[in-house]
Amino acid sequence: MAIKPLLSTALICALTFTGATAVSAAPQHGKQRAATSTTAPSTSTISAEEYADLQFMREEEKLARDVYLTLDEYWGTLTRVFANIAVSEEQHTSTVDFLLDKYDVEDPVISNEVGVFTNPELQALYDTLVERGIASFIDALYVGALIEEKDMRDILAAMERSDERAIILAYSNLLDGSKNHLRAFVGVIESQGLVYEAQVLDQDEVTLILESEEH
């Protein structure tokens, strides 16, 4: 049986606004984003866009971790997928943190507390995703899959805006991780007798990811 829970109006708006906002929004694949208000220092080897993308990625990976930690509190007795992937997302946040240090980028994460974000759009998105995820076990799994699809879209866009080998390599590793995470969430969804349908990426892209080898 195919099932694809409808995104709430608030979630659709959050995703759209996050993708369109110049300063603190999620990058859109194939589109350019205006320079952030927190611009790169004049001595930096990276562009203002790369600087803004690194700051965004830092909090976006934290968002994934925080959502999964929260949803594990509700559904951890039914599956280990949220707890397991939260550990991986913690590693992802550390990867981006390393890049912040390397390129002297100001860390937007001023508190490691779960559910606390500097970026107002990510704060709103966290709140919306958690509200949806605690509604039901299936909704929670779809939230996880949505986050991973969105992460991949944003990572690909950021990779296109960077010429730095270290940044591109790190983003590539994050991309591989998100592919594996999507497979994990879809695996649990399909174990419930459902057929997963893409929520952010094109269906062909998702099908290719799901059918490809895990890294």
Q: What is the pLDDT, as a whole number, of residue 152? A: 98
Find the range with the poorest average confidence among 14-23, 71-80, 172-181, 196-205: 14-23
Average pLDDT, the chain: 85
Q: Which amino acid would we find at residue 92?
A: H
Name the phi and psi angles at 108, rounded to 5: -75, -15
Burial state string for 60-86 with b = 16 or more CB within 10 A and e = fewer than 16: bbbbbbbbbbbbbebbeeebebbeebb
Least-confidence region, from 11-15, 25-29, 147-151, 203-207: 25-29
Integer Cα distance of 84 and 75 in angstroms: 13
State yes or no: pLDDT of 135 exceeds 50: yes
Q: What is the pLDDT of residues 139-164, one digit of tens each?
A: 999 999 999 999 999 999 999 999 99
**Topology adopted by domain 9-211:** Ferritin (1.20.1260)
Position 33 pLDDT exceeds 70: no
Instruction: Give CA 80 to chain center in angstroms.
Output: 19
Cα dihedral 19, 116, 53, 30 in deg (nearest 10): -20
Angstrom distance (rounded) from CA 84 to CA 66: 13
pTM value is: 0.81
